[in-house]
Structures are given as C-alpha cells and as structure tokens.
Amino acid sequence: MHIMLIAPSRATHSQRLLQMLLDDGHSVTFIDYQNPQPESADRYTFIELSKHPLPRWVRTNYLRIVWKNWTVALNLRRVWKKIQPDVVHVVDIEKRAYRCALARIHPLILTSFGSDINDLFEKDDQGSRQWKEVARALQTADHITADSYQVLERCEFIAGRFLNKSLFYFGIDLELFKPRNVGETQALRSKLGIPSGAKVILSARRFIPKMRQDIVLRAFAEILKCNLKVVLVYRRFGVLVEYEDELRVLAKQLGIANQIIWVDEMDYEQIPLLYNLANVIVNVPEQDGLPVTLFEASACMKPVITTDLPAYQEFLSAGEYIRVPVGDVAKLAEAIKLVLADNKSLIEQLGKNYELVLKTANQKKCLSGLNLIYSQAIG
C-alpha cells in the first residue's frame, strides 16, 4: 500500500511506525516540517509542509489561527490529490488531525498517543478551541486507534458519537528486546561508571512532570538509608530542562546526587542493554497512555514496578506486575526493596509477563492488525 503518514517527526513512535511500514513493504510519504529519516530509503518520500507568511491584515490571534489551519489544510489536500495514497494515517490527535479533517482527505486513520486525549480531560477543557478541533477530527476519521480502552472511550465522549475504533499497540522488536547475558551488558555498565556489585534501579520515562521522576528520586533516598549498594539510572530523553534542573537540585538537597547516573540519549539498539543491566525498572507517572516501557522491560525479563493507572488496566490485569499508588513514595520504596532482595516469587511473575508480551506486543503481529485496519478503511 501507499501510506501518507502525518506525524510529529521527532517522536520515537512516529519514527518507529515509519520504519515498521517500510520494513513491511509499504510505500510511505511522510508529511511534516522536518524529515525524520534524512537517509535515502526505498519506497520513502518526505514532503515538507510549506510555511505561509501571515498577510498584513491578519492581526488578531483568532485570525492567525484560522489562517494557519486553512493554509495547512489546503496544502495537505493538494499533496493528497497529487500523490493519491491508499490511506492517510495521522499519529497524535491534535492540530494535524484537525487540519486533515478540514482538508476532507480519506480514508483517514487517527492514532492517539494517549496523552493527547488524556490531557484534554486533565485540563477539563470541554468547550475550548482545542476540544472542538479534536472533536471535528474524530468525527471525520474513518477509524480511530489507541492503546487503551479508556482513551477510545474518551475519544467517543469528545466526538459525541460512536466511532469505528480498535486497540492498537505499537509493539516492540522481540529480536532486539530480549534477555542478554552479563557479558553483553558489561561494556555498557563500565561505560556508565556503575560500581562493581551495585544494583541498578532504572527510570526509563521522559523527563516531564507528569512522569513523576521526583517520586522515584525521593523513594531512592529512602532506599539508601538502608545502606544498600545501589545506584539510580535516569535515562534522559524528552527532557523538559526546567524539570531536570529541579530534580538535580532535589538530589543535592537529599544528599544523594553522587548515587545517580544520568544517561544521555542513546542509539535505539543500545536501549535493550540498558534494560538488561537493571535489577528493577520503575514507571510511576500520574497520567499516561500505555507505554512501551512495560513491553520492553517485560521482554527483557526484568521486574517492573508501575503505578496502577486506568489506561494500563487491560494490560496489567493480564500479567503479574508490582503496582503502587500514584505519588506514594513509601510504597514505591518498599516495592523496590522487595525486588532488590531477590525475592524468589518474582521468577514466576517475570515468566508470565514475558509470555504476555510475546502474545500481545510482538511488533510483527501488531503491524498485521494495522494492515487489516488499512484494508477495511480502503474497502
């Protein structure tokens, strides 16, 4: 098929979906302001969205928004008519999706990241311009996908009607994310400066406030009071600089700055090694879609401690995950200490979670489900 893919080019999920489609033999025309794959590739084309300067008569903020929306929409429609794709797939249900609705391009598939929809409810934004734009996009689309039933139900609430919808996980590459031996991880462990014999707590989520990295930090401070030889590894990506600065100040105030390792963005192929050298992975956001972190950690057969969010329910209930309440430092510290004590009961849990990922988050199976959605939309 020829897929017209419209997505935030810097987002990891966008880049992964693009590569998945190309690897599956599809032709992809990617539309955005930046090229996510500057290297040449077979069956791949990038078209940059034109930036139209504002006319002098456009002075109010309202007119600026209307001008931008319609100029981009007309540009999208022109490209769509020219390349005649089999299907248009928009990732992240926000401005891009709304402008596709204005452009009246079909078949139109919309995929939610989770936070795009959940943020509207967190802000209680009913009646706002953003709410109305998302509603218009949802009402116009031929099919909606998300990684949780909660998000799909919220999409219908925003749209005010029934939608053609289905669960869709981006999945992970199980040939990449798998258990590794100590020899494979030792080089990375040495490179990061992790002391010999130290156990590793890995926090692998983005550096934004709702991921609650501060809770991880405070729980780690409690664990160090037990005189355990342990380090906290923060994987730095999606960084909000102001929030990271706050975390570094807090670490100094708690007197634990020397026990924290800050890992800069790394090649995707290195991430499974980072998971494998960890003794436990923590994921404690206060609001989220279903993160691939849960898939990746489980595929590497590593213990996961996670907050018990509504968006996670379908997945967590099918596995054996250690759950803690949102924002509860004491419960998180207690759970981490239990895992670091090499609790033998964890072995069965890891096996069940591994089987769950094999069954539900295999990238190849997930892509076959997406292909079926494409075919049905075209039909």
Task: Dig out the tokens for 324 from the structure.
Answer: 């803690």
Q: Which residue has the tokens 């590739």?
A: 41
SS3 call for 181: coil
Q: Tokens in use for 328?
A: 């509860």
pTM: 0.85
DSSP 3-state assignment of 199? Answer: strand
CA–CA separation, 280 and 264 (whole Å): 19
Tell the residue number behind the tokens 């749209």, with chain if given.
159
Q: Count other Cβ atoms within 10 Å, centred on residue 38.
A: 8
Residue 62 buriedness (CB in 10 A; 0-12 / 13-18 / 19+): exposed
Checking if the pLDDT of 10 tops 90, the result is: no
Rounded Cα distance between 6 and 76, Å, is 10
pLDDT in tens, 185-216: 999 999 999 998 899 999 999 889 999 999 99
- Could you give all domains of the chain from N- to C-terminal order, each with its CATH number? 2-171+363-378 (3.40.50.2000), 182-360 (3.40.50.2000)
Q: Does the pLDDT value for residue 227 go beyond 90? A: no
pLDDT value, residue 240: 84
Q: Which two tokens stand for residue 84?
A: 């005649």
Q: Could you tell me the two tokens for 162?
A: 């029934």
In this structure, what token pair is assigned to residue 353?
A: 């979670």
Q: Which residues contact 289 (CB under 8 A, 6 or more apart)?
A: 112, 113, 114, 115, 118, 146, 147, 148, 151, 311
Q: Which two tokens stand for residue 360?
A: 């539900």
What is the mean pLDDT of the segment spanning 121-146? Answer: 90
292 and 170 in contact (C-beta within 8 Å)?
A: yes
Q: How far apart are the first and last CA of the chain?
A: 13
Whole-number pLDDT of residue 57: 66
- What's the rounded mean pLDDT across residues 303-325? 92
Residue type, 76: L
Contact assessment for residue 51 and residue 77, using Cβ atoms and an 8 Å cutoff? no
Q: What is the pLDDT of residue 59?
A: 66
Both tokens assigned to 267: 């090649």
Greater model confidence, 122 or 10: 10
Tell which residue, 101, 71, 106, 68, has the closest CA to residue 86. 106
Q: Which residue has the tokens 């550096």?
A: 207
- H or E stretch including 67? helix 61-83
User: What's the whole-number mean pLDDT along residues 339-365?
Assistant: 87
Instruction: Report the alpha-carbon distance of residue 24 to residue 364 in Å, rounded.
Output: 9
Higher pLDDT pick, 344 / 285: 285
* Exposure of 188 in the CB half-sphere (CA atoms within 13 A): 23
pLDDT in tens, 82-91: 999 999 999 9
Select the highest-mean-pLDDT range: 12-16, 47-51, 281-285, 290-294: 281-285
